[in-house]
Amino acid sequence: MDKLLIQGGARLNGEVTVSGAKNAALPILCAALLAEDTLKLSSVPKLKDVGTTIHLLEHMGVKVNRQADKVDLDARHIQSLEAPYEMVKTMRASILVLGPLLARFGKARVSLPGGCAIGSRPVDLHIKGLQAMGAKIHIEHGYIEATTEHLPNKRLQGARYYMDLVTVTGTENLMMAAALANGTTVLENAAKEPEVVDMAECLIKMGAKIKGAGTDVITIEGVEKLHGATHQVVCDRIEAGTYMVAAAMTGGEVKLLNVKENLLDAVIEKLREAGAEVICDQNTITVKSDGKLKAVNIRTAPHPAFPTDMQAQFMALNTVAEGVSKVTETIFENRFMHVQEMQRLGANIDIDGNTALVKGVAQLEGATVMATDLRASASLVLAGLVAQGQTVIERIYHLDRGYENLEEKFNALGANVKRVS
Ligand code: EPZ
């Protein structure tokens, strides 16, 4: 298994180009199943989860042509309506094929995604929403068996559905299902994340009739069919936020290219509160810092509030900032796996339920730590960048799921990060 060796202490300076967003690319790749001709995508990041999704779609019969960040998908001839356990277990987002398969083919057999390190992550709202649209769904041998063959012309029926919790992929799954349903669907308490908006924009280019994406009420008027389109995936605000925190923690000046500021308001606000200078331009963000930061309180919540996917990164910042801070995680029940690893680096953190109390220390000490989930791994890289001496991060396959060319990008900014097998 690969490891990362990080020599701490370097200030980061220079420019870094932000890649396309993993959490927009995954649902948009699955949306290809809805079309009867080719969906042409660009800015698709080279990530393990993207590879897994493409592998799953090819397994179903989608013809995929991938060159660098370009991916063309042709779902004209689908042979299988099943997402098998072996594939779903490695990536929960495979659940995103359920809505499109049911909408276009009236049938789907998708393995229930297991939980993961950060929580049980049920998909009950995805299922309830599809049932509200008339689907007959039962769980058998760990698979979601869904059908619409009992419905008028075997199609999902538009419905009004209020989601108990804000769910990002739940909103995306139901939006895809509704795109080809009979009649109009209204999703209430919908997720407002930029990745949901980006996916809606792609569906609209494919012929879908969607209003309200980015607000908590999304209205989808079902159409007969969807056609192919060309779409550039929105930039990855979480990758961008990760590099911004790295620049603030190490001190230095880093300019991010291909990024939109309005996707990161809460993160920018917190970085400024911590004492970093953040300058936003058309599609660049520059972070300047002397590395001496003040601790900031963090409370995660659905967009536009502070994103849960940036919680671990700001925990790393707080471990070496001046003062005491509270980090509260309201989205997932077990998203503090990085805490015990940071304590190995000398961080002073106490957990009380879903809140961590962080007391800043003058310096972290390099040590061997273990990555447990994607964003926890990123936070350990950030801690390693400022720790004294060498930090070794094991199980970095977690990182490869969500960060394209991480060590190249950090080394180009002056860091000292080496991957060893
Ligand atoms: C998406 O996961 C992202 N993944 C996650 O990013 C992100 O952390 C999360 O949204 C929250 O922003 C992708 O987009 C591929 P949710 P998702 O459904 O959709 C509960 C990363 O690091 N819930 O919004 O799975 C759920 O347990 C990943 O890039 C139900 O109870 O998250 C959680 O507590 C990690 N029933 C809360 O809602 C459901 O049917 C929010 O989950 C669905 C969700």
Read off the pLDDT of residues 329-368 as tens digits, 9 standing for 90 and up: 999 988 999 999 999 999 999 999 999 999 999 999 999 9
C-alpha 211 – ligand 1 centre gap (Å): 23
22 annotated as belonging to a binding site for a ligand: yes
- Say which residues have a Cβ less than 8 Å from residue 74's Cβ, sequence separation at least 6: 32, 37, 38, 39, 62, 63, 64, 228
Give the angle subtended at the CA of 187 by the CAs of 181 and 188, to the nearest 5°: 165
Tell the residue nearest (CA) to atom 6 of ligand 1: 309
Residues tagged active-site: 116
User: Residue 383: which pLDDT band, with cuts at 50, 70 and 90?
Assistant: very high
The answer on pLDDT for 55 being more than 70 is yes
For ligand 1, residues with CB inside 6 Å are 22-23, 26, 93, 119, 121-126, 165, 167-170, 308-309, 331-332, 374-375, 402
C-alpha 93 – ligand 1 centre gap (Å): 9
Looking up tokens 């230095």, which residue turns up?
Answer: 252
418 annotated as belonging to a binding site for a ligand: no
The answer on pLDDT for 113 being more than 90 is no
C-alpha 123 – ligand 1 centre gap (Å): 9
Task: State which ligand 1 atom lies nearest to the alpha carbon of 120.
Answer: 27
309 annotated as belonging to a binding site for a ligand: yes
Q: What is the pLDDT of residue 115?
A: 66
Residue 272: both structure tokens together: 């400024």
User: Residue 260: which pLDDT band, with cuts at 50, 70 and 90?
Assistant: confident
Which pTM does this prediction carry? 0.97
The architecture (CATH level 2) of 22-232 comes to: Alpha-beta prism (3.65)
Q: What is the pLDDT of residue 282?
A: 87
Same fold: 3-19+235-420 with 22-232: yes
Tell the residue nearest (CA) to atom 10 of ligand 1: 168
The answer on pLDDT for 114 being more than 80 is no
Query: What is the domain partition of the chain in residue ranges?
Result: 3-19+235-420, 22-232
Q: What mean pLDDT is reported for the chain?
A: 96
C-alpha distances (whole Å) from 265 to each of 107, 229, 377, 382, 398 are 41, 30, 23, 21, 27
Average pLDDT on 229-255 reads 98
Q: What is the pLDDT of residue 381?
A: 98
Read off the pLDDT of residues 149-166 as tens digits, 9 standing for 90 and up: 999 999 999 999 999 999
Task: State which ligand 1 atom lies nearest to the alpha carbon of 374.
Answer: 22
Tell the residue nearest (CA) to atom 8 of ligand 1: 309
Q: What is the pLDDT of residue 1?
A: 84
C-alpha 227 – ligand 1 centre gap (Å): 29
Q: What is the pLDDT of residue 136?
A: 98
Read off the pLDDT of residues 289-322 as tens digits, 9 standing for 90 and up: 999 999 999 999 999 999 999 999 999 999 999 9
User: Residue 118: which pLDDT band, with cuts at 50, 70 and 90?
Assistant: confident
122 annotated as belonging to a binding site for a ligand: yes
Pick the CATH number of 3-19+235-420 from 3.40.980.10, 1.20.1250.20, 3.30.70.1520, 3.65.10.10: 3.65.10.10
Task: State which ligand 1 atom lies nearest to the alpha carbon of 95.
Answer: 25
3-state secondary structure the chain: CCEEEEECCCCEEEEEECCECHHHHHHHHHHHHHECCEEEEECCCCCHHHHHHHHHHHHHCCEEEEECCEEEEECCCCCCCEECHHHHCCCHHHHHHHHHHHHHHCEEEEECCCCECCECCCCHHHHHHHHHCCCEEEEECCEEEEECCCCHHHCCECCEEECCCCCHHHHHHHHHHHHCCECEEEEECCCCCHHHHHHHHHHHHCCCEEECECECEEEEECCCCECCEEEECCECHHHHHHHHHHHHHHCEEEEEECCCHHHCHHHHHHHHHHCCEEEECCCEEEEEECCCCECCCEEECCCCCECHHHHHHHHHHHHCCECEEEEECCCCCCCCHHHHHHHHCCCEEEEECCEEEEECCCCCECCEEECCCHHHHHHHHHHHHHCECEEEEECCHHHHCCCCCHHHHHHHCCCCEEEEC
Tell the residue nearest (CA) to atom 31 of ligand 1: 122
